Chain A
Amino acid sequence: MASRVEILNDGGFRSDGRKQYELRDIIIDLSQQGSADGSVVLSHGLTQVSASVFGPREAKMRSQTLHDRANINVEVTIAPFSMGERRKRSRNDKRVLDFASTIKATFEPAIQTSLYPRSQVDIYINVLQQDGGVLQACINATTLALAAAGIPLLDFVCAVTGGVQSASPLLDLTTLEENDIPHLTVAMMPRTGNITLLTMETRLHVDRFEEIFQLATSAGHVLHREMKAAIKDRTRTLVAAMSVAPKAVGEKDPVYSERMDDS
């Protein structure tokens, strides 16, 4: 599909005015939605997804429980109006299921599931608007929702897309760019630098891979800082709200010492 728009013009600008390595605006809204244990609405530029986490809780179907760890259940719904061309995908659509299982596989190594045997963690993702980097947005949103729900994580999982336009690598692609150039999505855990996901559905020259992979990994660190700031900001707000209230008569300080001893 040849595009009439230049992906990268002579001045080094992309179609939306960004530079090669510039990421799009991130908006993170961690306020409570519905009865979820943790929820977030996340935008990368014009791509917008919401994620809600329920759990760890009793599994809806007993057959799904695992005796030694929690089962992670990911369900993705894609709003029919999220794309330029309307497309209704049911939740049982092969591509949607595949997408959900990719996200599940990304988080298996990050969530400390062994702490909650026989429980279930439900992750419900709604894709509200798509403009490239949907997988990256879903993964970042899931990380934030899990952290907001107080589910133990080994680390954040930060995802970013990278592509290459005739030898010049680009980051955080829009739909326009995704349609035109080879691209990949990398999800990494910033503390260790471990990669939990790497997908590529287009062909890419093997010599280009190294460079773009490195770039995406370092962009992950940048995203990590933003996400961490948002989580801390929220924690700070909540802690502040909780300290406003006067202490009740006869209220004990949380008896943590006793409980901690047996762990």
Chain B
Amino acid sequence: MSATVSLSKSEKSYIRTALGELSPIRADGRSLLDYRSIALETGVASLANGSARVNIGKTAGEESGSGTEVIAAVKLEVEGVLEGEGVDGGRLMCTVSCSPAAYPHLSSAALDDLSYDMTIILNQCLSHPSLHPKNLVIIPKRRSWLLTLDVIVLSDSGNVYDALFLAARSALCDTKVPKTRSVQYQPKSNALGEQDVEMSAEAPASIFSTKEVKSTADFELADYWDEGEPLDINQEWPVCVTLNLLSAKSLPTYFLDATSQEEAAIPLRLLLLFSFSPSGTRLQSMRLMGDGEIQLESMTQLLESGENHARKLFQALKNKLQEEDFRRNQKALARFDLR
């Protein structure tokens, strides 16, 4: 993965030396395991079923454009299992697109490659069967929801993968699946008695319309004006922790939440994706990026510490999401009062 900023040799060595010292100091004064502050807001796209915006590292002030910013949004669409592309039980699909404004120096081909790389990482992790929500079914074997998660990278000043997954998790947790109710046409007489109503795909008796003969069993939205129910595996959506490795030594020093300059100065990054659920902690996915190598023994150690950091991040995110829910409820109530 190519660096998105260019640095001189002496800048790289300045960063690496500073990180490698006994009491490491980073360019912005953080210690190795400090995150920059993360701003988060849910419900940012009104036409989506769930959405979130995340910014890592924005400096306060009108004129600072700094920070890595991404928007994620979930949309649900109905798919036919028999006639469409749908799969029984529903599908989950993720895409990432990088805005050219985030990488103003990349050519459009390079930008497409980058978007593609990010899409693969996000999609492989989130569309894995172990993370499949059960409530994407509308009518078993007939209709299901297609869940698409689209993420846009608006600006990148480092640590974009952590931001991607923070936004993805927040958008998925924010997603509400509309409540549906199956409806079925019941023939008045038993003229079609021999036929199995459930299977009578071609039954001419439907009074719905001649176009809709296929769906003798259809669904309607339960008429709550309430938005629906959350995805049933809300807590399990993974968080990503990127361990930036300073060297490939047997006991590698690592640091968290790298800036783009730091990313350009180091040889290796290890992406770890953890899912925390009541049933236990799972490592959902991992990826080593860069042109270096690490020794197998150090992996166990990195995994262990990665899990620790991920758990802290997960907990902080969970609290923030609850806070956001509260804020939005208050806002909705306030608006209701106005009327």
A residues touching B (Cβ–Cβ < 8 Å)?
31-36, 39, 46, 50, 52, 54, 60-61, 75, 77, 79-86, 88, 91, 122, 124, 126, 128-130, 237-238
Closest B residue to A75 by CB, please name it: B100
User: Distance in Å from the Cβ of A123 to the closest Cβ of chain B?
Assistant: 10
The B225-281 residues at the A interface (CB cut-off 8 A) are none
Please tell me if the beta carbons of B65 and A85 are within 8 angstroms of each other in the complex.
no
Please tell me if the beta carbons of B45 and A77 are within 8 angstroms of each other in the complex.
no
Known: A32-B62, A75-B100, A82-B45. 14 other contacts (CB 8 A): A31-B63, A36-B101, A60-B105, A75-B108, A77-B100, A80-B75, A80-B97, A81-B48, A84-B47, A85-B77, A86-B77, A88-B150, A128-B45, A237-B62
Taking residues whose C-beta sits less than 8 angstroms from the other chain, chain B's interface range is 20 to 34
Instruction: Evaluate whether A35 and B71 lie within 8 angstroms (CB atoms) in the complex, with A80-B95, A122-B100, A124-B101 already known.
Output: no
Please tell me if the beta carbons of A32 and B65 are within 8 angstroms of each other in the complex.
yes
B148 / chain A contacts, CB cutoff of 8 Å: 80, 86
Please tell me if the beta carbons of A128 and B71 are within 8 angstroms of each other in the complex.
yes
Please tell me if the beta carbons of B104 and A82 are within 8 angstroms of each other in the complex.
no
A124 / chain B contacts, CB cutoff of 8 Å: 99-101, 104
B71 / chain A contacts, CB cutoff of 8 Å: 79, 128
The B64-107 residues at the A interface (CB cut-off 8 A) are 64-65, 69, 71, 73-75, 77, 95, 97, 99-102, 104-105, 107
Closest B residue to A130 by CB, please name it: B47
9 CB contacts below 8 A, A to B, read A39-B101, A52-B99, A75-B100, A77-B97, A77-B99, A77-B152, A80-B150, A129-B47, A238-B63
B65 / chain A contacts, CB cutoff of 8 Å: 31-36, 39
Per the bound structure, the CA–CA distance linking A88 and B152 in Å amounts to 12
Please tell me if the beta carbons of B104 and A36 are within 8 angstroms of each other in the complex.
yes
User: Distance in Å from the Cβ of A54 to the closest Cβ of chain B?
Assistant: 5
Please tell me if the beta carbons of B152 and A79 are within 8 angstroms of each other in the complex.
yes
The B38-62 residues at the A interface (CB cut-off 8 A) are 45-48, 51, 62
User: Distance in Å from the Cβ of B25 to the closest Cβ of chain A?
Assistant: 25
B197 within 8 A of A: no
